[in-house]
Structure 1
């Protein structure tokens, strides 16, 4: 796995992927402080939560089109443009004067994220194949989570100084852009062989790839509805039980990303041994355990332990979505497939507060965690039944 770090193009794709973790959660520790800055806005409670998930709506809308344009016009130029737009729109929240303007900048950020994610995922499919692609997907999620661990910890510290400062972290996109310009090359997709390893696309001709992709789209979207209960509700839950410092939600989010990174490093090996049905099923069960633990106690230690389980489970689950999509899609439709998964992920993120906020009002935070746990157990059963029945070639691809 360390061999990937010797390839500039692999490092570039890891950096591009790491930017996406910042798109939403990096400002989560600052949400209570941002809400307090706009006491005259009657919708400040909902709007501040939407600052976390607003980019998701535009990602969901734009991603399918971004995927198709990447298929038609090329991945490289689209990736570079997306990273530049990301840096500009993401950092704008540091200085914009009103909550509606900040929300608008978050929507533009969503456009940028859609462009970056679809072109970056399609490039993975172009550059790598077979088991090597699976290992890279695990490494990518690990890089995203470890990067998120560092940046969320930094965001918690910055939010303690000013709730606007975490927005400045998005400017890192401008710093990595020159390296991406140098390292990323447009792949030749005219050949029937894979660019890396010259392995055939066993699953690309599967006439059921559209149906399989549709199932994965639904599962990935629901997964993010549940997972995003953590960044959208945890800061307010912790404040309600006495943990009002911005470092408290940053600690919980850091535990999620750290555990997710460790689990993702093992994703390639676990998937090769257990298959693509059991691997996400275990991930869902770990997430269910984490939410169940959070339902048990208001202790910061117990909550952090639950966060570790949620993050670890997500580290096994998240790489599955893109890995299956890239496995089954024909080479000339990888942009479309990655766009479809990106849309489902960010629709899940966007709708998460609309699902969780009424539940919290009705049941309270602890029982909301219990509901999430029960749903995840059901999803573990479903994903195991659906994908374990696939052929051995599909499982190990």
Structure 2
């Protein structure tokens, strides 16, 4: 893992990935203050919540097109434009005079995230072969988790001073822009970190079917995973944990466990392979939701959150690694765009899925249904991906 930090290209891709965690949640601590800042707006309650979900919807819509643009016109230019737009659209919320104009800026923020994510993911496929690619995907998920934890803490601190200050965190895109300019390059020929594999650039047969399965599973993963941040705060209040620190504690457990597991992804993937790695991830998540279904003590709820975060840290790196391994080099932008769309569409759909479930079965019943869905998904994932063969990532 340390070798990646000696490679300027890898560091640039990690910095670009860190931008994506900021797109939605970074302003969450400021939402009550923002709502109170516009007492004359009759739609303030709804619009402040749309500020969080609007970027996801735009990313889901534009990512496939952004992926095709990256394939045609190059990844470097797209990442640079996306990073600048990210800062302009994100920081605009500091000064804009109304919720309507802030909402419009959030839509442009979603477009910038689509540009950065698809270009960044495609470059991972360009820069690294399967052996190093799996390790890098695990490191990236870990960096995203740990940076998200730090940025949320910073946002909470700034929101305590002014609900507008968290928008300044989006300036990170402009701060890292010079580094991206000098280090991110569109490779003329395949840049490989290991021996060339004959025919790798042409992809594998059946890669379209593999991509369709991965897109479906990625969306499903985020639909279920986002039950935690969207429903846990309300569930904890119903069982007596109504302090604001309680849901923050649970989300911290999820984030830290996901980051820790992702750091070990390379070694785990090497031993378990393409099929068993995500299957174990889904089973860990099922255990976590099963605990939430049965327990009411904070310690055991935290344990369930650890299981959910750890499991999630095994699933998404596998999906990206398998898709980039299977796809032809000239279609990696399209592949990364499709997976990006599925991720953000899953985030957007999650409350639509979970709210009727909560109304019909209660919070515990919803967690139980999620656990059953994850067990079934683990079986399907294992049966489909095990045929991809065992990973060759070294321990």
User: Displacement of 1:156 after TM fit?
Assistant: 3.1
Does structure 1 residue 343 correspond to structure 2 residue 338?
A: no
Match of 1:115 in 2: 115
Can you list the C-alpha shifts for 1:226-277, whole angstroms capped at 9, x where unaligned?
Answer: 1112223334444555555544433322221111110001111111111111
In structure 2, the gaps of 5 or more residues are none
CA pair 369-299 structure 1, distance change in 2 beyond 3 A: same
User: Displacement of 1:387 after TM fit?
Assistant: 0.8
**TM-score (normalised: structure 2):** 0.91
Does structure 1 residue 357 correspond to structure 2 residue 358?
A: no
CA pair 292-265 structure 1, distance change in 2 beyond 3 A: same
For the residues of structure 2 that align with 1:242 and 1:43, how far apart are their CA atoms? Answer: 30
For the residues of structure 2 that align with 1:236 and 1:164, how far apart are their CA atoms? Answer: 25
For the residues of structure 1 that align with 2:30 and 2:361, how far apart are their CA atoms? Answer: 25
SS in 2 for 1:364: helix
Does structure 1 residue 233 correspond to structure 2 residue 231?
A: yes
CA pair 32-384 structure 1, distance change in 2 beyond 3 A: farther
Match of 1:199 in 2: 196
SS in 1 for 2:104: helix
In structure 1, the gaps of 5 or more residues are none
For the residues of structure 2 that align with 1:280 and 1:334, how far apart are their CA atoms? Answer: 21
SS in 1 for 2:388: coil
SS in 2 for 1:186: coil
Match of 2:209 among 208, 211, 219: 211
Is the Cα contact below 8 Å between 1:52 and 1:232 reproduced in 2?
A: no
For the residues of structure 2 that align with 1:48 and 1:151, how far apart are their CA atoms? Answer: 20
CA pair 312-108 structure 1, distance change in 2 beyond 3 A: same
Q: 1:1-397 maps to which residues of 2 (within 5 A)? A: 1-35=1-35, 47-189=47-189, 193-200=190-197, 201-202=199-200, 204-241=202-239, 243=241, 245-392=243-390, 395-396=391-392
Can you list the C-alpha shifts for 1:100-159, whole angstroms capped at 9, x where unaligned?
Answer: 333322221110110000000111111110211111111111111111121122223334
For the residues of structure 2 that align with 1:106 and 1:40, how far apart are their CA atoms? Answer: 21
Deviating more after overlay: 199-208 vs 34-43: 34-43
Deviating more after overlay: 157-166 vs 223-232: 157-166
For the residues of structure 1 that align with 2:297 and 2:39, how far apart are their CA atoms? Answer: 30
Deviating more after overlay: 102-111 vs 267-276: 102-111
For the residues of structure 2 that align with 1:180 and 1:113, how far apart are their CA atoms? Answer: 15
CA pair 122-14 structure 1, distance change in 2 beyond 3 A: same
Is the Cα contact below 8 Å between 1:153 and 1:251 reproduced in 2?
A: no
Computed over aligned residues only, the root mean square deviation of the Cα atoms, in angstroms, reads 2.4
User: Displacement of 1:34 after TM fit?
Assistant: 4.4
Is the Cα contact below 8 Å between 1:49 and 1:232 reproduced in 2?
A: no
CA pair 78-205 structure 1, distance change in 2 beyond 3 A: closer
User: Displacement of 1:46 after TM fit?
Assistant: 5.0
CA pair 156-352 structure 1, distance change in 2 beyond 3 A: same
Is the Cα contact below 8 Å between 2:130 and 2:321 reproduced in 1?
A: no
Is the Cα contact below 8 Å between 1:35 and 1:45 reproduced in 2?
A: yes
Can you list the C-alpha shifts for 1:150-199, whole angstroms capped at 9, x where unaligned?
Answer: 1122223334444443333222222111111122122114xxx5443351
**TM-score (normalised: structure 1):** 0.91
User: Displacement of 1:336 after TM fit?
Assistant: 0.8
Can you list the C-alpha shifts for 1:346-375, whole angstroms capped at 9, x where unaligned?
Answer: 111111121122323333333222222221
Is the Cα contact below 8 Å between 2:254 and 2:305 reproduced in 1?
A: yes
Is the Cα contact below 8 Å between 2:274 and 2:389 reproduced in 1?
A: no
Is the Cα contact below 8 Å between 2:261 and 2:313 reproduced in 1?
A: yes
Is the Cα contact below 8 Å between 1:252 and 1:303 reproduced in 2?
A: yes
Deviating more after overlay: 76-85 vs 52-61: 52-61
For the residues of structure 2 that align with 1:42 and 1:238, how far apart are their CA atoms? Answer: 29
